[in-house]
């Protein structure tokens, strides 16, 4: 798994998906730039999310709120007082860590031991192996699981009660060492606020202090009445937004999984109080189907229920994806109650209520949130699609290729136009003409450098689902080209118009909506 993660990092840079930011100045920690292929993939992810969330629902609309907001916004939301992570330093390495993450990673090691026992048993018993029964009855697995559950409960309780001493004691009890120094020489655990602050104008002062928004949701909440009145929506209805957020993470690592500047795709669904659990279950299942529709393996997705709830929630779950570094949060589904609108109503003195004509009453709506990190989704798609496989070459011999089997609608380039040889007119002229025509329909790439086999491999590596090869027969044979399929490697002779129709159909996002 570690090797796979290294391959993703190397592939991302080599093929223009992600670069370290300001690399000529030795980079900036946990900040990345998206390259030519990366920006196309990221835009396609956002486009698919927006279409499936806004275009496909007549009761969900979109906004684009400003990054800067009145500082009272963050007081009402609880971020000023409670947006903290528990921080701990190792005195020998001078490295800083999130205390809760240290504990979670230690528990993950024990989960790894359980998985190892399961794999050994699978080999031993073969087709007769019953994994559920083995997990429920094997003494060693049960001991491991009991240890995990006990320490997980301790962690949840410490986090819920802000018990920093208890959190440090848990680190001591688990005998956790610093990954760098290997020592157990820890400082006390203390809270660290994650918001970036700045000033409005040239003169710094309390009245001019601003924050870079740590989440996009609050821009939706403060616009609740504006949106409801202008769109004449009735509850239940949702407001969606894609935008940048900023968090001064204690430890930002694992490539683009945890960054200080990131992009969120969020939808806040306003509902009648008392219906939140029904909508909570509905959106959990709906969002899981969304991920599976892209071809993501069911084995790589799971729900994780929150035991330690945020101050605004009465229920919360994550959709976790199995990244090369383990199962981690990809999307959150949270029942936020009426905390946000209620808090803004109280601090602002403005009523943020909905008049329900069905019951002839006004009330502060409850909110059901779905929130997905666009950058994490990007990393999940790279992790899911990047593969190395053996395929036959033109002579029938077996060769290895690196391929990104992205869903065609997400692929950065939909089709590559490849003349069989370079600098051969009128062959290259005809290929250029096909490229100029097709680029009006979808994202194309023209390439005539190197042998045709190498060009195929380059397109495989960036996930291009189709290659259109123009040869000398194209000039003579009723304008037919060779359409190559990335996944099956199948090739067929068809007209340019037929090739265009296939690419348009197979890469259209409507096929997965």
| Residue 304, SS3 per DSSP | strand
User: Pairing relation of β-strands 415-419 and 444-446?
Assistant: parallel
Three-state SS letters, 239-262: EEEEEEEECCCCCCCCHHHCCCEE
Contacts for 257 with CB less than 8 Å, ≥ 6 apart: 323, 325, 328, 375, 376, 379
- C-alpha to C-alpha distances, 361 to 277, 354, 356, nearest whole angstrom: 21, 8, 5
Half-sphere exposure of 320 (CA within 13 A, CB side): 16
| pLDDT of 206 above 70 | no
In this prediction, residue 197 has a pLDDT band, given cuts at 50, 70 and 90, of confident
Picking from 496, 455, 505, the residue whose alpha carbon sits closest to that of residue 474 is 496
- What does the pLDDT read at residue 342? 96
Q: pLDDT digits over 278-313, tens only?
A: 999 999 999 999 999 999 999 999 999 998 787 788
Counting other chains too, the contacts that 50-54 makes at CB distance below 8 Å and 24 or more residues apart are: 50/240, 50/242, 50/265, 51/509, 51/513, 52/290, 52/513, 53/238, 53/240, 53/265, 53/267, 54/240
178 touches 95 (CB < 8 A): yes
Q: Answer yes or no: are the C-beta atoms of 114 and 135 closer than 8 Å.
A: yes
Q: Say yes or no to pLDDT of 505 above 60.
A: yes
pLDDT at 503 over 70: yes
Secondary structure of 488-506 in HEC code, one letter for each residue: CCCEEEEEHHHHHHHHHHH
d(CA 245, CA 243): 7
CB 385 within 8 A of CB 273: no
44, pLDDT greater than 60:
yes
Question: Given this model, what pLDDT does residue 126 score?
Answer: 87
pLDDT for res 476: 81
Half-sphere exposure of 162 (CA within 13 A, CB side): 10
Model confidence band, residue 205 (pLDDT cutoffs 50, 70, 90): low
Q: Which two tokens stand for residue 119?
A: 């794999």
Q: What percent of the chain has pLDDT over 70?
A: 98
User: What pLDDT digit, counting tens, does each position of 309-328 carry?
Assistant: 877 889 999 999 999 988 99
> Which SS3 state, helix, strand or coil, does residue 348 take?
helix
Peptide bond before residue 426 is cis, with ω within 30 degrees of 0: yes
Shortest CA distance to 149 belongs to which of 110, 176, 184? 110
At residue 238, does pLDDT exceed 80?
yes
């Amino acid at each position: 798994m570690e090797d796979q993660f290294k391959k993703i990092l190397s592939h991302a840079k080599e093929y223009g998906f992600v670069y370290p930011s300001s690399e000529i100045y030795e980079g900036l920690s946990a900040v990345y730039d998206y390259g030519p292929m990366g920006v196309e993939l990221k835009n396609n992810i956002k486009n698919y999310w927006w279409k499936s969330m806004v275009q496909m629902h007549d009761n969900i609309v979109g906004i684009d709120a400003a990054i800067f907001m009145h500082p009272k916004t963050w007081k009402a939301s609880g971020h000023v007082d409670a947006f903290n992570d528990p921080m701990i330093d190792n005195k020998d390495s001078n490295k800083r860590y999130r205390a809760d993450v240290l504990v979670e990673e230690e528990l993950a090691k024990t989960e790894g031991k359980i998985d190892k026992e399961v794999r050994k048993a699978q080999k031993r018993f073969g087709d007769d192996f019953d994994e559920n029964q083995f997990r429920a009855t094997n003494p060693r697995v049960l001991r491991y699981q009991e240890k995990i559950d006990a320490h997980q409960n301790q962690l949840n309780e410490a986090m819920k009660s802000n018990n920093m001493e208890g959190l440090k004691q848990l680190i001591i009890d688990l005998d956790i060492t610093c990954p760098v120094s290997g020592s157990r020489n820890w400082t006390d655990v203390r809270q660290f606020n994650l918001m970036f602050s700045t000033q409005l104008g040239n003169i710094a002062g309390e009245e001019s202090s601003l924050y870079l928004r740590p989440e996009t949701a609050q821009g939706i909440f403060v616009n609740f009445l504006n949106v409801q009145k202008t769109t004449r929506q009735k509850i239940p209805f949702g407001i969606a937004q894609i935008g940048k957020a900023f968090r001064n993470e204690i430890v930002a690592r694992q490539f683009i999984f945890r960054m200080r500047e990131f992009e969120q795709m969020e939808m806040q669904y306003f509902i009648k109080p008392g219906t939140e659990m029904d909508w909570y279950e509905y959106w959990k299942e709906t969002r899981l189907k969304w991920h599976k529709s892209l071809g993501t393996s069911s084995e790589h997705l799971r729900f994780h229920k929150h035991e330690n709830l945020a101050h605004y929630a009465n229920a919360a779950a994550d959709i976790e994806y199995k990244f090369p570094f383990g199962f981690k949060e990809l999307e959150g589904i949270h029942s936020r109650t009426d905390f946000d609108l209620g808090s803004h109503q109280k601090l602002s003195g403005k009523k943020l209520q909905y008049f329900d004509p069905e019951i002839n009453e006004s009330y502060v709506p409850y909110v059901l949130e779905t929130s997905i990190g666009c950058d994490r989704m990007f990393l999940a798609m790279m992790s899911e699609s990047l593969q190395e496989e053996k395929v036959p070459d033109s002579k029938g011999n077996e060769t290895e290729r690196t391929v990104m089997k992205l869903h065609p609608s997400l692929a950065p380039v939909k089709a590559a136009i490849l003349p069989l040889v370079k600098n051969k007119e009128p062959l290259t002229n005809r290929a250029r003409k096909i490229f100029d025509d097709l680029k009006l329909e979808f994202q194309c790439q023209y390439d005539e450098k190197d042998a045709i086999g190498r060009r195929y491999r380059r397109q495989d590596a960036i996930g291009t689902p189709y290659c259109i090869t123009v040869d000398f027969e194209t000039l003579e044979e009723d304008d037919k080209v060779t359409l190559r399929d990335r996944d099956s490697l199948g090739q067929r002779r068809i007209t340019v118009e037929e090739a265009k129709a296939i690419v348009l159909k197979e890469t259209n996002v409507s096929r997965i909506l």
